[in-house]
Amino acid sequence: MAFKFQGVDFIEFDSLLSENELLVRNSTRSFIEDKLVPIIEQCNRDGRFPRELVRPMGDQGYFGATLDGYGCAGINNVEYGLLTQELERGDSGIRSFVSVQSALVMYPIYTFGSEEQKNLWLPKMATGEKLGCFGLTEPDFGSNPGGMRTRARKDGDDYVLNGEKMWITSGSIADVAVIWAKVEEPGVSAENWRVRGFLVETDRPGFSAHDVKGKWSLRASVTSGLSMQEVRVPAANVLPGSDGLKSPLMCLSQARYGISWGAIGAAMACYDMALQYAKERKQFRDQPIASHQLVQEKLAWIITEITKAQLLALQVGRLKDEGKAAFQHISMAKKNNVWMALECARMARDILGAAGISDEYPIMRHMMNLESVKTYEGTHDIHTLIIGQSVTGISAF
């Protein structure tokens, strides 16, 4: 059966959006429909990132889209959310790529970088000519990045980096890595060394990347381990405004916000598919399965959860545009909306019966992708603890 995405709007959500917001949403929807949907299942099968879409996405202004100047689009946070929603409606791997390029590489350069660094990297990253990755997680430090072992040692006018990073999106295709490392301070105990951000060109001697193979999730995205052995960078490659762990956490807040919208896109794709399938598939007395109450209960649950998630994301987006979004607001939106999308994907898969496990339909791919999305950028549990800390004033980490 050939299906085309119909859009999902139960309570006239679109009436809450401005003309420009709708324009961004609709143009991204068309781009994804024309360019990604026809190739994504094969990319997923092959474990291939569709690199041929990078420059066209740059032409559309998708990279660093909320930043002003340096060739960036300067859109608002709700427009950006709708952009990530539509990207992830296509595939979480493509949205991950754009999130990393935008929120985890261009944003820290824009926020913590020198004018030289901004001029050098941002215009080329906006077009997709240069790609970036973000190295925070290590083999032994995921939810607790403060324990990181990656070190930077001052040596004359240079810094020398040593360490391992793991699970790094776009690691082996990046031209530059934003590496978070503890700066050695003689006479100060290692646990008190400050975390700072370094721009590390990936062709520097001692830097290498190897791809993670055998992933069942985000197969159309590149995930790598990074190794740095005596990698020498000039002091001009330090992000001068970066200071402590709060700097990478600020980047993660940006990315988590985009994810909270992206997950809605994945849920919409699953819902739309399941609804259309349920109306056509006939079982018992030649009736569509959509006529059975138990199937309707599932569809009603899904559309209700999508609608609640849209309202949550929109409110956080509006707060963000007013400069009032706190990290715990973003944690709630990321945690709830990714959980919601994963539950919707599981229910939608169930509605398709056996067909749901086939990649003739997008649902199982979204479900597998969302398992990663639930874990990265702060796991579901960690966001629970952030919300818990916010309401009680007590940290349970």
Ligand X SMILES: Cc1cc2nc3c(=O)[nH]c(=O)nc-3n(C[C@H](O)[C@H](O)[C@H](O)COP(=O)(O)OP(=O)(O)OC[C@H]3O[C@@H](n4cnc5c(N)ncnc54)[C@H](O)[C@@H]3O)c2cc1C
Span from 24-32, 50-58, 77-85, 377-385 in contact with ligand X (CB under 6 A): 377-385
388 binds ligand X (CB under 6 A): no
The residue from 31, 121, 134, 198 that contacts ligand X (CB under 6 A) is 134
**What's the min distance (Å) between Cβ of 331 and ligand X?**
13
Distance of CA 344 to the CA centre of its chain: 19
User: 81 or 225, CB closer to ligand X?
Assistant: 225
Q: Are 215 and 166 in contact (CB under 8 A)?
A: no
| Binding of residue 136 to ligand X (CB under 6 A) | yes
Active-site annotation holds for 185: no
The closest of 341, 340, 381, 334 to 365, measured between CA atoms, is 341
Return the residue nearest ligand X (CB atom).
142
Q: Could you tell me the smallest distance in angstroms from the CB atom of residue 275 to ligand X?
A: 29
Report the C-alpha gap between 112 and 150 in whole angstroms.
Answer: 20
Interaction between residue 297 and ligand X (CB under 6 A): no
Region from 13-21, 70-78, 129-137, 192-200 binding ligand X, contact rule CB under 6 A: 129-137
- 382 is an interface residue for ligand X by CB under 6 A: yes
SS (H, E, C) 292-361: CHHHHHHHHHHHHHHHHHHHHHHHHHHHHHCCCCCHHHHHHHHHHHHHHHHHHHHHHHHHCHHHHHCCCC
> Among 167, 198, 271, 277, which residue sits at the site for ligand X (rule: CB under 6 A)?
167
Q: Can you spell out the DSSP letters for 225-269?
A: EEEEEEEEEEGGGB-TT--STHHHHHHHHHHHHHHHHHHHHHHHH
- Least distance between ligand X and beta carbon 178 (Å): 9
Q: Is 381 in the site for ligand X (CB under 6 A)?
A: yes
Q: Which stretch binds ligand X (CB under 6 A): 64-72, 80-88, 164-172, 187-195?
A: 164-172
Whether residue 312 contacts residue 337, with contact meaning beta carbons closer than 8 Å, is answered with: yes
CA distance 85 to 62: 12
Does position 372 interact with ligand X (CB under 6 A)? The reply is yes
Distance CA 202, CA 260 (A): 30
Q: Does 137 bind ligand X (CB under 6 A)?
A: yes
Place of tokens 């004033």: 393
Residues paired with 154 in a beta bridge: 159
Q: Does 200 bind ligand X (CB under 6 A)?
A: no
3 state SS of 163: strand
Residues 93-112, one symbol each (x = binds ligand X by CB under 6 A, - = not), give -------x------------
- Residues forming the active site: 377
Q: Which residues bind ligand X (CB under 6 A)?
A: 100, 134-137, 142-143, 167-169, 218, 223, 372, 375-377, 379, 381-382, 385, 397
